[in-house]
Amino acid sequence: MHIRTPDIGIDLGTSNTLVYVRDKGIVVNEPSLVVVEGANRRQLHAVGDEAARTAGRTKDSQIVIHPIRNGIIADFDMSVLMLRYFIRKAVGVSNVTRPRVVISVPVGLDDINRRALAEAVRSCGIRHVHLMEKPLAAAVGSNLPAYDPVGTMVVDIGGGTTDVAVISLGGMVVCQSIPVGGQTMDTAIINHIKREFKMLIGGLTAENLKIDLGTAMPLTEPRSVRVRGRNLLAHTGPRGCHEIDYTTQQAYQAIQEPCKAIVNTIRWVLERTPPELSADILRTGIHLTGGGAQLCAIDQYIATELGIPVLLARDPADCTVQGLGHVVQNMQHYMEMGRMPPLG
């Protein structure tokens, strides 16, 4: 009997990891988090969803680790533990079928970090690791003509990075990755509340505020949300607790900087794009993907600032892994066409 290897696509993001298994689709979609414990803090306690449930209420002996930072491996051992957990969850532990892996990488990743990533996957018992640029994967996952002789622009707003690329004939013609993403907006909200209200809030609260109230354009119907935090002016408030009403207008002000940085990067890439390809982009628009692309009015903001149509992907957070899935699903075809992403 012929057993088709359960080849897999892995989108190892700063915030979330998604795994696509051939013939099955997306089987893992969990936060890129690890909780460890023990004296040397190397003993695995929880990964992914389970780690997220633990986070915030950990014991003294436990710590929460984000193995990926700004799109690159920040903690190698923890990344391997996390990857192994997700791969096992996706395909089991069978030694008979050795899956091939296609994993997404930020654009412009240097050789050292490319090798570290491939090595981390190989440490999970995988022999063949192909590295595919995130925007290319996102373009394929959004059914864009990434391999045609036309210019396609993809902007992937992730947790820790925003990747901007002009793609043509399956290659990155011009690209840039900046360490600005959804988490940068969370931090901006934390700092804004600290400055304006002398109150400290946690990262999760900030993320929820961003999703609830955050907007890249001022809203015509402002709203507000009651927020609790720790009072930084020790002499007021009961036991350091404090409450404020945070408004859409305030959230808008807080995240302006990161939104501007994203637009400036797109502009930088456009300025370096060959004229024929720019003409294609003016006609077909900029394609927005990544979880951060769900920020209220970010598409409208970019379109207004640059005067170019902007199209938000249908499932922004899934585009990259869907693209990796397309490769995994059609590997033979990609090989025959010379389109298989390079081995790491």
> Which spans of this chain sit near ligand ADP (rule: CB under 6 A)?
13-16, 158-160, 181-183, 207, 210-211, 214, 290-292, 294-295, 317
- Specify the residue, 37 or 318, whose C-beta has the smaller distance to ligand ADP: 318
Listed in sequence order, the residues at least 6 apart from 167 whose beta carbon sits closer than 8 Å to its beta carbon are 135, 136, 139, 144, 146, 151, 152, 153, 154, 173
48 binds, among Mg ion, ligand ADP, none (CB under 5 to 8 A by kind): none
- Specify the residue, 199 or 293, whose C-beta has the smaller distance to Mg ion: 293
**130 in helix, strand or coil?**
strand
DSSP structural state of residue 103: E
Q: How far is the CB of 12 from ligand ADP (least distance, A)?
A: 8
106 binds, among ligand ADP, Mg ion, none (CB under 5 to 8 A by kind): none
Which helix H or strand E contains 94, and what residues bound it?
A: none
- Specify the residue, 69 or 98, whose C-beta has the smaller distance to ligand ADP: 69
- Specify the residue, 75 or 330, whose C-beta has the smaller distance to ligand ADP: 75
* C-beta of residue 137 within 8 angstroms of C-beta of residue 44: no
Q: How far is the CB of 172 from ligand ADP (least distance, A)?
A: 18
Listed in sequence order, the residues at least 6 apart from 320 whose beta carbon sits closer than 8 Å to its beta carbon are 11, 13, 18, 104, 134, 137, 138, 141, 156, 289, 290
User: x/- string (CB under 5 A) for Mg ion, residues 275-304?
Assistant: ---------------x--------------
- Specify the residue, 183 or 205, whose C-beta has the smaller distance to ligand ADP: 183
Q: How far is the CB of 254 from ligand ADP (least distance, A)?
A: 13
The helix-helix angle for 182-197 and 256-271 (nearest 10°) equals 140
**45 in helix, strand or coil?**
strand
Part of the chain binding Mg ion (CB under 5 A), chosen from 13-21, 36-44, 51-59, 213-221: 13-21
Q: How far is the CB of 337 from Mg ion (least distance, A)?
A: 25
Give the footprint of Mg ion on residues 151-210 (CB under 5 A).
158
Number of other residues whose CB lies within 10 A of the CB of residue 196? 13
292 binds, among Mg ion, ligand ADP, none (CB under 5 to 8 A by kind): ligand ADP
Q: How far is the CB of 15 from Mg ion (least distance, A)?
A: 7
* C-beta of residue 15 within 8 angstroms of C-beta of residue 2: no
- Measure the CA–CA gap between 109 and 344, rounded to whole angstroms: 12
Q: How far is the CB of 232 from ligand ADP (least distance, A)?
A: 24
- Specify the residue, 68 or 144, whose C-beta has the smaller distance to ligand ADP: 68
SS3 per-residue string spanning 247-277: EHHHHHHHCHHHHHHHHHHHHHHHHCCCHHH
- Specify the residue, 277 or 328, whose C-beta has the smaller distance to Mg ion: 328
Among 7, 8, 9, 13, binds Mg ion (CB under 5 A): 13
Q: How far is the CB of 152 from Mg ion (least distance, A)?
A: 18
- Measure the CA–CA gap between 312 and 157, rounded to whole angstroms: 11
* C-beta of residue 107 within 8 angstroms of C-beta of residue 135: yes
Part of the chain binding Mg ion (CB under 5 A), chosen from 10-18, 27-35, 82-90, 297-305: 10-18
Among residues 62, 82, 63, 77, the alpha carbon closest in space to that of 14 is found at 82
Q: How far is the CB of 213 from ligand ADP (least distance, A)?
A: 10
- Specify the residue, 71 or 344, whose C-beta has the smaller distance to ligand ADP: 71
Among residues 237, 279, 270, the alpha carbon closest in space to that of 154 is found at 270
Which helix H or strand E contains 217, and what residues bound it?
A: none
Q: How far is the CB of 278 from ligand ADP (least distance, A)?
A: 26
How many residues of this chain interact with Mg ion, rule: CB under 5 A? 3
Where on the chain is the footprint of Mg ion (CB under 5 A)?
Answer: 13, 158, 290
